[in-house]
Structure 1
C-alpha cells in the first residue's frame, strides 16, 4: 500500500545497499591513504618489489592491454558502439547514458585527483609517505575507474547480453587495475579507489534514467517536427 506523501526511492533496496557499500569502501580507502595506515605501507612494499622487473616477459603484452583502460581510446570506441546501438534501437538512450557516465566519471574522479594531489610511484619522493598534496594525479587510478565505467556502461546497455557483458566488464576492470600496479604507474590503493569510484558512477546511472528519457523524448520530438517541416 502506498503511503501518501512518502517520497519513493528510485533505487531498489539491493541497489541502494550496493551504492552505500561502494561509497563506504571509497571513503575507507581514502581515509587509509590520508592517515598513512597499513595500506600505504603495502603500497610501498609492492612498489619497491617492482613487479615489472620480477616478470619482465609479461610487460609487452600488458603495456598494450592497459590501453583498454585509457580514457581516450576506450571512450571513443564505446561512443561509436553506443551510437550504433542507438541507431539500431531507434533511441538516443545509449549515447546519452554513456555520455552521462563519462561526464560523471571525469567530474568526480578529476576532483578527487586534484584535491589529493598524490604522486605516482615512479615520481615518489619520500619513502613510506602517502605522497599527497604534491600536485600529482595518482589517486584514484583514472585507468581503473575508466575501465569500470566504460566497460560497465556498455554492459548496462547490452540488453539481453547484459550478464555476459557484466562478466567481461569485471574482468577488464580487474585486469586493467592490476596491470597498472604491475607496471608501477599506480599504487595498490589508487586501484582500490579507482574500482570504488567507477562503481559509484555506474550505480548512479539509474538515478539519471528519468532525465535521460526526458531529453531523449524532447530531442526526438524536435527532430520529428523538423523533418515534417522540410
Structure 2
C-alpha cells in the first residue's frame, strides 16, 4: 500500500518560496488611532522628563555614576567576548543591510515598495532626530568624563541619547510594524523589544554609555515607530509615483524595440518583414490560402490584390522604375497603353 510522505516544516517553507509573487488583496496599514496618539504623547513626555533630569543633575545622574563605578565588565568578564559581538545588532550599517534584504524580498513577493520605503523613512527620521539631539546636548561618555558627579552636558560629546539603542528599536521594530498578521506583529514586537533591551544594557556593560543614555535611546526609537502612520500617505504617493515612472519607461522601451506596423486594409494581417515606410505594398501582394497566385505576371511588376469580382488597380509605378520582362536588346512598343497579354507587338520596318 502506497502512502504519501508527510510534509515537514522545511518542505512547506520551500513550497512557499516556489510560488509566484503575488500582491496581497489587503495590506494592513497601521493608522494613527487614539490609542497610538496617547502612547506617542506619553513617550514624548517621558523623553522630555529624562532630558530634564539629566540637565538638572538629579538622582538619575548620580545613579549613572554609581553604575559606572561598579564596572560591570570587570564583574562578569566571562561574557565580555559574546557581548562584543551581540552589540553589533545595534549598529546601523549591518542591521540596516540585513533588514533591507528581508524587506526587499518581501517587496518583490508582494509587488509593493511599501516595506522598503517605510524602512527608509524610519532611518531618515532616526538620523535627523537622534543626530540632532546628540549634537545639541553634547554629552560626554563614561570613558571621557571629567568631573565626578556632573552631567557632562555641552562638552562636545555625542552619546546622549544612545544611537545603538535607538537604532535597535527602530530597525528591528520596523519588522513588527510591517507584519501582515496580528499574531506575527505580537511575536516580532516581543523579539525586537528583547533585542533592543539587550543592546542597550550591553553598551552600559561595556562602558560606552550612561544608563540614562540607554533609557533615552529607547524612548527616541519608540517615538519614531509610533509616528510612522503619519507618513503612510507620503509613502503611498511616492510608491505610486515610482510605479508610474516604471510603467512609462517600460511602454517607451517596448514601443521603440518592436514597432507595430499598420495593415494596408482594415482586417488585413500586419506584415512582420515589410519596411516601415511601405506596409501597403507588402500587404497588397499577399494572397489567401484558397486563392491561386496570378499567372504570367511580369517580374518586378506591380502587384494587384485578388478579388472575387474584379481586379483592383495597384498604385502606379513609373515605367522607368519597372524591371523589363522582354529579352535584352528588344524594344518596347512606343504606345503608352499596356499591350494585351498573348499578342506580339508589330516590329518597325528597317531598311529602305
Report the TM range for the smaller structure's normalisation.
Answer: over 0.9
1:158 aligns to 2:179 (yes or no): yes
SS of match in other structure, 2:106: helix
Q: 2 CA distance for matches of 1:105 and 1:159?
A: 24
1:70 aligns to 2:91 (yes or no): yes
1:198 aligns to 2:204 (yes or no): no
Q: 2 CA distance for matches of 1:213 and 1:133?
A: 40
1:100 aligns to 2:100 (yes or no): no
Q: 2 CA distance for matches of 1:59 and 1:158?
A: 34
Please report the TM-score for the alignment, with normalisation by the length of structure 2. 0.62
Q: 2 CA distance for matches of 1:101 and 1:94?
A: 11
SS of match in other structure, 2:105: helix
Partner of 1:5: none
Q: 1 CA distance for matches of 2:145 and 2:92?
A: 24
Deviation per CA, 1:114-142: give whole Å up to 9, x if none.
Answer: 01100111111110011111111110000
1:208 aligns to 2:222 (yes or no): no
Q: 2 CA distance for matches of 1:84 and 1:119?
A: 40
SS of match in other structure, 1:91: coil
SS of match in other structure, 1:127: coil
Q: 2 CA distance for matches of 1:94 and 1:62?
A: 30
Larger radius of gyration: 2
Partner of 1:6: none
Deviation per CA, 1:73-128: give whole Å up to 9, x if none.
Answer: 11121112221111111101001000000000000000000011001111111100
1:30 aligns to 2:51 (yes or no): yes
SS of match in other structure, 1:36: coil
Q: Which has the higher contact order (CA 8 A, sep 6+)?
A: 1
Partner of 1:85: 106
The count of corresponding residues between Structure 1 and Structure 2 is: 221
Deviation per CA, 1:8-29: give whole Å up to 9, x if none.
Answer: xx62111001000110110000
CA RMSD for the aligned pairs? 0.9
1:148 is aligned, of 157, 169, 172, to 169
Partner of 2:201: 178
Q: 2 CA distance for matches of 1:117 and 1:72?
A: 23
Kindly state the Cα deviation for residue 50 of structure 1 after the two structures are TM-superposed: 0.4
Kindly state the Cα deviation for residue 199 of structure 1 after the two structures are TM-superposed: 0.3
Q: 2 CA distance for matches of 1:68 and 1:52?
A: 19
Kindly state the Cα deviation for residue 43 of structure 1 after the two structures are TM-superposed: 0.3
Partner of 2:76: 55
Kindly state the Cα deviation for residue 158 of structure 1 after the two structures are TM-superposed: 2.5
Q: 2 CA distance for matches of 1:143 and 1:69?
A: 5
Kindly state the Cα deviation for residue 163 of structure 1 after the two structures are TM-superposed: 1.7
4+ residue runs over 4 A deviation: none
